[in-house]
């Protein structure tokens, strides 16, 4: 079985976010494999061990993303692909275009990714890739079964359970509860450092897509303060609440 995993390197969830000049400061910050992508990697390894084949982890990101790829290899992945070219970086729309363009030239039976990344939290890239490839996708899965070309997945439906069937090739995104990601062994780490990565640049892909949106401003949320009790009868309280939301918090 040919298994591809879409992986992103993200901020460690324990890191404190500091802004410098309107941008998130990355100096001295610990980066990790996006936690949801770890579930995808683990499930890929389980499938490979059950059905045979190989697992290839693909990431789109700057030079620092190599560290995350090496960890995925240390977990047991067979190959690592690093799409590393600033000309290819962008929003979810552009990222999906780039990843799909690379995958079009590869053999695969199933593609796995995380339900979302903990930095942007859009949950868009993987399903966009599936749409561009013209294959079915099942998101937020908590259980996966494959019998021949038949795929059955349990997916989290906001506190309820949905069972979805599809056929290979398919793309699925992993939700917490799908499995328990393994820790890399010392032997796995040693082996991972010897595995050559396949590095891909803009010249290797026929992608001319531009980002659909741009970050205009980055800011930290206001510090939380104590609650406020509005006095008076109901009409007066409603009027004051609307005024506060419009003039102070500016949310309406």
Tens place of pLDDT per residue across the chain (252 aa): 999 999 999 988 888 888 877 778 888 888 999 999 999 999 999 999 999 999 999 999 999 999 999 999 999 999 999 999 999 999 999 999 999 999 999 999 999 999 999 988 889 999 999 999 999 999 999 999 999 999 999 998 887 899 999 999 999 999 999 999 999 999 999 999 999 999 999 999 988 888 888 888 888 887 877 778 888 899 999 999 999 889 887 778
CATH of the domain at 181: 3.40.50.620
Q: Give the separation between CA 39 and CA 103, rounded to whole angstroms.
A: 21
Does residue 215 belong to any structural domain of this protein? no
25, part of any domain: yes
d(CA 73, CA 41): 10
96 and 6 together in one domain: yes
Are 196 and 232 part of one and the same domain? no
- What pLDDT does residue 74 have? 97
What is the phi/psi pair of residue 129, to 5°?
A: -60, -45
Regarding whether 139 and 245 lie in a shared domain, the answer is no
The C-alpha atoms of residue 163 and residue 68 are separated, in whole angstroms, by: 32
Instruction: Check residue 45 and give its pLDDT.
Output: 98
Q: Is residue 34 part of a domain?
A: yes
- Distance, CA of 55 to CA of 77 (rounded, Å): 5
Q: What pLDDT is stored for residue 170 in this prediction?
A: 98
Q: How many domains does the chain have?
A: 2
Asked if residue 218 is part of any domain, the answer here is no
Distance CA 42, CA 112 (A): 10
- Full domain range(s) for residue 14: 2-204
- Are both 232 and 114 inside the same structural domain? no
pTM, full prediction: 0.86
């Amino acid at each position: 079985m040919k298994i591809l995993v879409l992986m992103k390197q993200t901020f460690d969830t324990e890191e404190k976010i500091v802004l410098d000049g309107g941008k998130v400061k990355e100096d001295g910050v610990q980066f990790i494999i996006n936690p949801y992508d770890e579930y995808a990697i683990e499930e890929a390894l389980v499938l490979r061990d059950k059905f045979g084949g190989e697992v290839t982890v693909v990431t789109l990101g700057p030079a620092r993303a190599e560290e995350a790829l090496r960890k995925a290899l240390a977990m047991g992945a067979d190959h690592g692909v690093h799409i590393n070219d600033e000309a290819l970086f962008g929003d979810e729309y552009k990222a999906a275009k780039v990843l799909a363009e690379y995958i079009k030239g590869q053999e695969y039976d199933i593609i796995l990714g995380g339900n979302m990344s903990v930095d942007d939290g859009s949950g868009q890239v993987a399903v966009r890739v599936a749409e561009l490839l013209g294959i079915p996708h099942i998101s937020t899965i908590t259980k996966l079964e494959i019998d021949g070309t038949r795929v059955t997945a349990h997916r989290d439906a906001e506190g309820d359970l949905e069972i979805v069937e599809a056929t290979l090739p398919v793309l699925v995104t992993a939700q917490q509860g799908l499995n328990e990601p393994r820790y890399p062994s010392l032997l796995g780490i040693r082996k991972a450092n010897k595995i050559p990565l396949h590095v891909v640049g803009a010249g290797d892909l026929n992608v001319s897509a531009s980002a659909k949106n741009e970050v205009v401003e980055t800011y930290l949320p206001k510090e939380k303060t104590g609650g406020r009790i509005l006095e008076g009868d109901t009409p007066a309280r409603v009027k004051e609440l609307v005024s506060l939301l419009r003039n102070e918090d500016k949310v309406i």
